Amino acid sequence: MRRFPLIITLLLTVSLAYYIYTPLPDALQEQWKLMLLDASFRTITYTAALMQWFGFGHYIPSTRKYVEALEITDPEFLPGVIVSDETFSGVPVRVYEASGGEGGLKRGLLYFHGGGWAYGSAKKGASDKISRIWSDELNAVVVSVEYRLYPEVQFPVPYLDCLAAAKYFLSSEVLSKYSIDPERVAVSGDSAGGNLAAAVAQEISQDSRMKVKFSAQALIYPAVQALDFNTPSFLQNQNMPVLSRFFMVQFWMQYLEADLSLMGQFLSNNHSSLQQPLLTPKLRARFDWTTLLSPEQQKDYRPVVADEGLEGILEKVPGLLDVRASPLLAELEVLSKCPKAYIMTCEFDVLRDDGLMYARRLQEAGVTVTSVHYQDGFHGCFSLVFRPLDFDVGKRALRDYINWLQDNL
């Protein structure tokens, strides 16, 4: 009997190690830290899903509460940055104003946070701290947008929130109020926020009524298409922390109001099968990774194109072909009017090829693109720069982003 507690302890330790351990590529650094982070996210998600099963409401709001409880928000971080909560055209935003600098007009940066159109906040944890850093180091007015999220809303509401905030921010009255140089205003976002930033940049660039337009866009591992979930990066990184292929497809389906029971069909690319008459050869060419990615980027993967399946799905889920949701599908004429771009991608990220394909299409349209790829990067690393969840690749990525904006804005 004396050995019984020891045996139980040993079994629990082994079980915990098995739960936490995930085989990772050798190129990834600080692997146990990443495994612990991923295990924490999985535990929170599973717990929230179990609560939903027991009737305690939708799992996403529950997950948000758990995550927010773990996030550390320090209102005294960089006290020289003035922070205020405002409303831009009915949309809540947080404004960060640099109080130092050399005087004169400042840069302007409009930012949309990531989180699968379901999670995240401009006012919490790393997002708040990073916005303060940008404002301080760039001598900029940073506006981080609190767009509405799933399940409370679905497409196109988050996009429309972001577009409304962007138009308000770019008005001459607001730029004058914050002493922003109208020639130095950028739009940016990460992941789902990168999707929103790309779509908003396209719309603003075409709007002849807008006297001031964005002079730069900075996209951090953006999601820009929902028609091919079998790109090389989706397959290579399908079980990679922090964003698996399954969860990314689920985020897309939730956002676009698709029936989640069709998950298997979407994973098989049946929603973009040859049976879809709305998917013309011209449209297919805009997300064809066999032509948009280099041979090195394609690796040894082969395209997955279903002959038939989900007939009529594009009529039932029109967002799949809507450029406001899938900026990669925009015509070259639209892309040609977009501002110069900074696009960051990570090798171990399901969205890697989305960013690479969008960079290629912008370049083909004549847009100046700086494409920065991290061979040791993973999805979410850009925000993981504060202890104890700090990663070297995240710090490098944040520094490179700031340096590019300093030189190009």
| Bridge-based pairing state of the strands 106-112 and 140-145 | parallel
> Which residues belong to the active site?
191, 349, 379
Which tokens belong to 269?
A: 């690319």
Q: How far is CA 152 from CA 58, 148, 213, 253, 273, in A?
A: 10, 7, 30, 15, 31
How many other β-carbons are positioned within 10 Å of the β-carbon of residue 195?
34
Which tokens belong to 294?
A: 């280099």
Q: How far is CA 118 from CA 129, 148, 187, in A?
A: 21, 8, 20
pTM, whole model, 2 decimals? 0.95
The Cα 219–Cα 339 span in angstroms is 12
- The mean-pLDDT minimum among 5-14, 52-61, 170-179 falls in 5-14
Most confident of 6-20, 68-82, 309-323: 309-323
Better pLDDT: 23 or 327? 327
Kindly report, residue by residue over 53-110, the tens digit of the pLDDT.
Answer: 888 889 899 888 877 776 777 888 998 999 999 999 999 999 999 886 666 899 999 9
What's the pLDDT at 20? 76
Q: Give the DSSP letter string of 50-87.
A: HHHHTTSS-HHHHHHHHHHHH----TTSSTTEEEEEEE
Q: How far is CA 394 from CA 123, 182, 225, 316, 380, in A?
A: 20, 30, 25, 39, 8
pLDDT at 345 over 80: yes
pLDDT at 18 over 60: no
Tell me the percentage of the chain whose pLDDT exceeds 90: 80
* CA angle (304 as vertex; 301, 308 as ends), nearest 5: 170
* β strands within 221-272, DSSP E: none
What's the pLDDT at 102? 65
Residue with tokens 């330790």: 13
What's the pLDDT at 369? 98
What value does the mean pLDDT take over residues 211-224?
A: 98
Q: Give the DSSP letter string of 147-206.
A: ---TTT--TTHHHHHHHHHHHHHTSHHHHHHTTEEEEEEEEEEETHHHHHHHHHHHHHHH
